[in-house]
Structure 1
């Protein structure tokens, strides 16, 4: 099991230290960290010097993969703009003459969940811009629709009539912890026909859990997905802008799983 980390924390001195500490303490846990300096790559310019100094530090850990953040506005953003943002990330090493600024793939946020042929073609072109060639080390693609309907996940044609076959990971559920516990949602996610290795679950607004209960939650998520992120931050729009006090415990539970 692995951590999919929305690393939207501004990298002031020491701000990313919880990730470095976790990656060092748990070398068998893989972290995929999503970098998001300007709600995207700072199109038309580079990230500020704080980011340029900090991002290369991620590359000193073999178990940290980096992805650039690109929102598609549910395939409503002009495709040319999406491709420009992908290009901007791809060009960071060349523009800065620093290979340690090379990201390993792209995290597409706000992707559609219900299948439509035109949106599939849109996302296919965007994914191919990452998958084709050698601009991205791992050519890794993540989609985050926020929710994939259980009817899709439990369909025998899930891979044919969805966008899952375009991705390495799809975030099938991003919500409050209490909503994940809802019986119809919980049961449907656990009977998905899609391989766990292709799926991620992100839960925020976690309650204060004992280690034993946290271990159990991680085990239950693992029955659905091989990728997770849990945070007890409960403030809307701030869920991923800081490391919650439970971060280290979550990593320990993932390592133990």
Structure 2
């Protein structure tokens, strides 16, 4: 099991240390982290000096993959704007004269969940911009629709009626912990037959849980997806802007409950 981390923490000195510490302490846990300096890449320019200093540090850990954040506004954003943001991430190393600023792929946020052919074409062109060539080290693509309906996940026609074949990972559920526990979601999210290595679950607003219960939560998420992130932050728009008190325990739980 691995961690998909929305790293929307502003990188003042020491701010990303919890990630570095976790990556060092748990070398068998893979982290795919999303950097988001300007609600995107700071189109046409470089991010500020704090990002220029910290992003290269991510490269020093073999178990950290770095993705750039691009929102598609559910495929309503002009495709040329999306492609321009992808280009900006790809050009960071040249613009800064620093190869360590090269990111490994793109995290497409706010992707559609209901299938429509023109949206498939839109996302296909965006994915191709990442997958073709050598501009991104892993050419890795993540889609985040926020929710893929449990009914669709369990449909026999899921691959023909979704965008799953355009991404390496799709976030099938990004919601509160309470909604995850709801029977209509919980059972169906664990009964699908899709390869779990292609799926992620993100949960926020967790209650105060003991480490043993957190271990159990991680085990249950693993029945639905191989990638996860959980946080006990409950304030909207702040879920991913800091490392919550349970971050270190979450990583331990992913690492088989290691202490």
SS at match of 1:202: strand
CA displacement 1:115-151 (0-9 Å, x = unmatched): 0000000000000000011100000000000000112
Q: In structure 2, how many angstroms separate the alpha carbons of the residues matched to 1:195 and 1:155?
A: 14
Q: Secondary structure of 2:255's match?
A: helix
Superposition pairs for residues 6-155 of structure 1, below 5 Å? 6-155=6-155
CA distance in 1 between partners of 2:192 and 2:199 (Å): 10
In structure 2, the partner of 1:202 is 202
Can you give the 5+ residue segments of structure 2 that lack an aligned partner in the other structure? none
TM-score in terms of structure 1 length:
0.99
CA distance in 2 between partners of 1:176 and 1:224 (Å):
16
Cα RMSD for the two superposed structures:
0.6
Question: Does residue 1:255 correspond to 2:255, yes or no?
Answer: yes
Alignment partner, residue 179 of structure 1 = 179
Q: Secondary structure at the match of 1:256?
A: coil
Measure how far apart 1:193 and its partner are. Answer: 2.3
TM-score, L = length of structure 2: 0.98
Secondary structure of the residue aligned to 2:80 is: helix
Specify the alignment match of 1:225 in structure 2. 225
Q: Distance in 2 between matches of 1:237 and 1:74?
A: 19
Counterpart contact for 1:158–1:193, Cα < 8 Å: no
Work out the CA distance in 1 between the residues paired with 2:98 and 2:27. 25
1:160 has 2:189 as partner: no
What displacement does 1:45 show? 1.3
